[in-house]
Amino acid sequence: MRDDVLARVRAALAGRERFPHPGASPSTARVTPEPGDVVDRFAASFQAAGGEVVRLPDVQRARQWVATFAAELTGVAQSPLLPPALRVEVPDAPPEQAELGVSLALHAVAETGSLLLSSAEGRLLQLLPPTHLVWVPVDRVRDTLAEALGTEAPADVSALALHSGPSKSADIGRIVVTGVHGPARVIAAVVG
Amino acid sequence: MRVSLFVTCLGDHFFADAVHDAIHVLEGLGVQVDVPAGQTCCGQPAYNAGYMTEAVRVARHTVRVLSDAGPVVTPSGSCAAMIRTVFPRLLASDSAAGAATDLAARTWELSEYIVRHLGRERVGQGLRGRRIAYHHGCHALRELGLLHEPLTLLEGAGATVVDWPADRECCGFGGTFSVKLPPVSAGMADRKLDTLPDADLLTSADPGCLLQLDGRARHRRMGLTVRHLASVLREGMDGSA
Amino acid sequence: MDPRSAHYPRLARETLEQTPGVRDAVTQAALAFDAHRLRAYGEVDVDAWRRWAEQVKSHVLTHLDTYLEQAEARLVEHGAHVHWADDAAAARRVLDELVSRYGVSRVVKGKSMVSEELGLNDHLASQDVEAVESDLGEYIIQLLDEPPSHILGPAIHRTLDDIRRIFHEVHGTAPEATPEELCAAARSTLREVFLSADMGITGGNFVVAETGTLALIENEGNIRISTSAPRVHVAFVGIEKLLPRWSDLAVFLQLTARAATGQPVGTFVSLLHGPARDDEPDGPDEVHVVFVDNGRSRVLADPDAWEALRCLRCGACLNVCPVYRQTGGHAYGYVYSGPIGAVLAPGLLGLSETLPLPFASSLCGACAEACPVRIPIPELLLAWRRRAVDEGLTPRAERAAFRAFSAVATRPGLYRAAGRLVAATGGRMARYLPVLGSWESVRAPLDPSGGTVRRGPRHGGAAQPSDSDQTGAPGSEVEPAP
C-alpha cells in the first residue's frame, strides 16, 4: 500500500515542473503597528482572544496574588515543572476533578496572543479544569510566533500546544460560547 | 480622438438605447466613434460553458473585425475583460495570437476609458440630487480592477452613490449559469435586491447583470428602475431631458 | 457519506423551496465569517503571505514523494506508527485492524473532513463501535443525523431554535435554553466520553516533514482532549497536507486562522510528536498516522486540477461564495462543498459522477480572491467544464446550441438576421426556446430592443437602431470558412 501510494505520486509528478521552496517566510508584522512594548502587546492580544492577564512585578507579589486568587479552592492540578516559589498552596487534585490547572509557559506570543505549553508538564491539567492559570516569566514573552516556535521543534516532548484564550465555539446559532470543552477562563500571570 | 465601439451581443439585442447613449456620451466628450462592421459577440458564452472550439472561432472573428480599430471601447465590463484577459490566452497558439494581444492592450470598458484614458471625471452635472445604486459586475471589478471609475463619473455628475452592502456581490447572471440553475441564480439576485437601500435607480456597466437584476425585479414587481451606466451618464451629461 | 453530487440542481432547488431558513442561516453565518476574514487579512501584508504560502504548497506538492518519505521517517522516530491507504475502503480496514488490536468499544472524534470523506462514523457504527463527535457543531449534526454543511461550521445551516429542539429531545434541556445551557449539556455528556473513550480519531491540518509534526487547529479544545485523554490516537491525513519545514508553520498557522475565522491563530493548536514520553504525566500510549490517497494522486497527476490540492480547508471560498450561500453545503452532495468542493469533487470522485458541480458557479471570482493559497478556482472550474465538453458529457441540445452560436457569431449577416428574429418574436421567444423558458421561470420576460445597432463611422448626432448594416464594408462581413 505504501509503495503503491508513493508510486502513484511519482508517476503523477513525472515530467512535471517542480516548484522551488520560496525560502524564508514573509514578515508577520502588522500593517499598523500595535502600541506598547512586547508585554503590552501580548496582553492586548491575549485579552482580545478572551484571556485574562495579570502583571506581577516579582515572585513575591506573584505569591501574594495567587494565595488570594486560590484562597477558596480545594483542589488544583499543577505542573510538576513549576519552580517551588510559584506552586499554589492548595491540595493537589487530578485534572478531571481540579478546580484549577496551573502551568508554566514555554513562551508567550505577542502577535497571536498565545501561550506555548509543553506536554512535559502534563496535558490534561491544561485542558480539563474550568480555569487555567499559566505563569509567564516576563523574559519568555516573544514578539512573533516564529520566534516562540524557534528554528527546531523540541524533540523530547510529545505535544506542544498554543492556547490563545479560553475554549470557544459559535456553533450554536452563531453565538459565541466559552468553556466548551477546555477551560472557560485562562489567566496569563506575567511575572517580572 | 477616435475610438471603435464594440457593441456586444447583449448591447445589440437588449440595450440598443444604452449603446446609443454610450456613443452620445463619447461624442459629447469630443471623441469620434466608429462602430466597426462585422462585429458580433466576444464569444464569452461559449468560453464560460466550456466550448473552446466555438469560443476560439468567435474570438478570432472579433479580433479580425477589430484589428484596425485603434482604441476599442465597450459598454460591458464583462466583454472588455474577456477581450483583455482571456483572448490572449485563448488565442495564444493561434495565428491571431499577436492581433489578440494587440487588441487586448487597446480595449477599454466605457467608464474606464473616460476616467483612465481621457482623464475626465465629469461628464456634466445632470445627476444632481439623484440617489443611485451601483452594481459592480464581477469581471469589471475583479478582472479589470474597476472600482472607482464608474462611481467617480456618477458622483462627478452630482449623484449620490448609495451605500449598498451587497454592491460587490455577484448578481447571479453568470451566462448559462442563469438558465442552468434558475432557483440559485434568482436567489442570488434576490440577495442583491433585498439589500438594496432606497435609491432612484440601479445601474451597472454590465448588460448581463442588468438583464438579470431587472428581470428579477420586474418578476417580483418591485417597481425598480434599472438602467445601463451609459444611459445614466448621458443623463449626467445632458440633464434629465 | 455517499456522494450525491450528480443531483446538485435538484438538491439546490429543494433546499431553496423546502427549507428557505437554510439560506438565511447560511448567508448570515457566511457573511459573518467573511467579514472577519476581510478584517484579519487587512491587518497584515496578506498578499505576501498568500503568494508565499502558494509557493510552499506548490513546492511540497511537486516534491510530494520525497516529503512523504521524510515525514514517515520522522513520525516513526517519534514512536508513531504510519499507515498508508489507497482509498476509503483501505483506510477503513486500517481502522478495523486498530479497533480490534486495542479492543476499542468507544471512539471520540475531533472534527475532521477526511473522516467524513472516508465514512468512518457509519463504518464504526456498523462494527458496533460507538463513535461520538466532540466538536460542538459536529455533535449537533450527529444528533440530527446530517452531514456537515460547511468545512468549518458544520451546523451553520441550523438555527438556535433547531438546536434547542433537538437538545430538548436528547438532553432534556429547556425549550428556551440559552446557548450556554445547551453547551453545558453537550459538555457534560462529552466530558464523560473523553474520559472513557479507548481511542481518539482526528484529521490533521499539517504534517511537517522535517520534524514529523502533526499540527491540528481548533477553537473548542476537543481535539486537544481527544489526542490527550484516550490511550490511542489515530489521525487520518490526506497525503497533500504536508509542509516541508518547521519554520513554515508559523505563517501557515496564522494564515489558516485569518482565512477561516479572522483570528490571529486558532484558540488551540496541537503540535504532536508521537506518543507520550515515559516521563510525561499523561498523553496517548499509541499514535497512528494514516496517510490517505483516495483520489489525491489522481488529482496531482492532472495538470489542470492539481492546484486544488493546495487547499487548507479554511472555508474562506465557501463564505465568500454567493452560490454556496444560497444552499449551504448539503446540496453539493459531497463532504467538500462550495467552490473548492466543485473543483475537488470531480477530481476525487470522477467528472461524470459530479458533473453539475463545475457548472454550479457564476464564475464571479470572489473565491480566488479570498483563497489563502491562491487556488485559481474559476480557472479550475473552467478546465472541468472544458473537459465535460471534450468528453461529450454535456447535453446534446447544448452542444448543438453552441455550434449554432459560433456559426451565427462568425457570420455577421446571419447574426443580424438572428437579431431581427429576436426582435420580431419579442416576448414570445420562450415558446420556441426551452432555454428562455428556464430564464423566464424566475424572471420577467426579456424585452429585446430591436435588431442590431447600426455599424459604421459616425459623424455626430444620435445614432439610430437599425437592423441593416448599410455602411459596413461588405468584404469584411463574411467569415472565411475556418
pLDDT tens digit at each of 482 positions of chain C: 567 999 999 999 999 999 999 999 999 999 999 999 999 999 999 999 999 999 999 999 999 999 999 999 999 999 999 999 999 999 999 999 999 999 999 999 999 999 999 999 999 999 999 999 999 999 999 999 999 999 999 999 999 999 999 999 999 999 999 999 999 999 999 999 999 999 999 999 999 999 999 999 999 999 999 999 999 999 999 999 999 999 999 999 999 999 999 999 999 999 999 999 999 999 999 999 999 999 999 999 999 999 999 999 999 999 999 999 999 999 999 999 999 999 999 999 999 999 999 999 999 999 999 999 999 999 999 999 999 999 999 999 999 999 999 999 999 999 999 888 878 876 666 566 777 888 999 999 888 887 889 998 875 444 444 444 443 333 333 333 33
**Sheet containing C232-238, strands listed edge to edge, beginning at the edge strand earlier in sequence:** C81-85, C286-292, C232-238, C199-202, C106-109, C130-133
Selecting from A127, A153, A160 the residue whose C-beta is nearest the C-beta of C225 gives A127
With contact defined as beta carbons under 8 Å apart, do A83 and A89 qualify? Answer: no
DSSP summary character for residue B85: I
The burial class, CB within 10 Å (0-12 / 13-18 / 19+), for C153 is buried
Based on C-alpha coordinates, what's the Rg of chain A?
A: 20
Selecting from C43, C182, C247 the residue whose C-beta is nearest the C-beta of A31 gives C43
Interface of C with A in 285-304 (CB under 8 A): 291, 293, 297-298, 300-301, 303
Quote the CA–CA distance of A70 and C426 in Å, as a whole number: 82
- On chain C, the residues whose CB falls within 8 A of the CB of A110 are none
The mean pLDDT value for B206-210 works out to: 97
- On chain C, the residues whose CB falls within 8 A of the CB of A43 are none
- On chain C, the residues whose CB falls within 8 A of the CB of A15 are none
Residue type, C473: A
- On chain B, the residues whose CB falls within 8 A of the CB of C410 are 40, 57-58, 60-61
Closest CA–CA distance from residue A91 to any residue of chain C (Å)? 18
Give Cα separations from C89 to C4, C84, C118, C131, C246 (angstroms).
Answer: 18, 12, 8, 18, 32
Quote the CA–CA distance of B221 and B215 in Å, as a whole number: 10
B48 CB near a chain C CB, below 8 Å?
Answer: yes
Chain B, nearest residue to C477 by Cα: B38
Based on C-alpha coordinates, what's the Rg of chain C?
A: 27
- On chain C, the residues whose CB falls within 8 A of the CB of A111 are 254, 264
- On chain A, the residues whose CB falls within 8 A of the CB of C270 are 159-161
Quote the CA–CA distance of B171 and B168 in Å, as a whole number: 9
The mean pLDDT value for B25-38 works out to: 96
> Chains touching chain C at 3 or more Cβ pairs under 8 angstroms?
A, B
Chain C, nearest residue to B3 by Cα: C457
Closest CA–CA distance from residue C2 to any residue of chain B (Å)? 23
How does DSSP assign B179-202, residue by residue?
HHSHHHHHHHHHHHHHTPPS-SEE
Cβ–Cβ gap C479/B61 under 8 Å: yes
- On chain B, the residues whose CB falls within 8 A of the CB of C388 are 50
Chain C, nearest residue to B139 by Cα: C364
Closest CA–CA distance from residue A87 to any residue of chain C (Å)? 17
- On chain A, the residues whose CB falls within 8 A of the CB of C51 are 22
Cβ–Cβ gap A25/C239 under 8 Å: no
- On chain B, the residues whose CB falls within 8 A of the CB of C454 are 35
Low-confidence stretches of chain A (pLDDT < 70) are: none
Positive or negative: CA dihedral C134, C140, C141, C145: positive
Which residues sit opposite A77 in a β-bridge?
Answer: A101
Q: What is the pLDDT of residues B56-101, one digit of tens each?
A: 999 999 999 999 889 999 999 999 999 999 999 999 999 999 999 9
Positive or negative: CA dihedral A123, A129, A132, A135: negative
The mean pLDDT value for B37-52 works out to: 97
What does the pLDDT read at residue C423? 80
Selecting from C72, C219, C271 the residue whose C-beta is nearest the C-beta of A168 gives C219
Closest CA–CA distance from residue B49 to any residue of chain C (Å)? 6
Residue type, A69: F
Cβ–Cβ gap A153/C281 under 8 Å: no
B215 CB near a chain C CB, below 8 Å?
Answer: yes
> Chains touching chain B at 3 or more Cβ pairs under 8 angstroms?
C
pTM attached to this predicted model: 0.95
The helix/strand/coil state of C33 is helix
Q: What is the pLDDT of residues A126-146, one digit of tens each?
A: 999 999 999 999 999 999 999
Q: State CA C270 to chain mean position distance.
A: 23
Assess whether chains A and B touch, using the rule of 3 or more C-beta pairs within 8 angstroms.
no
Interface of C with B in 392-431 (CB under 8 A): 394, 398-399, 402-403, 405-406, 408-410, 412, 415, 419, 422-423
C480 CB near a chain B CB, below 8 Å?
Answer: no
Q: Say how many CB pairs under 8 Å bridge A and C.
A: 282
Question: Position of cell 446571419?
Answer: C414
Closest CA–CA distance from residue C393 to any residue of chain A (Å)? 25
Quote the CA–CA distance of C325 and C31 in Å, as a whole number: 9
B139 CB near a chain C CB, below 8 Å?
Answer: yes
Selecting from C48, C154, C281 the residue whose C-beta is nearest the C-beta of A122 gives C281
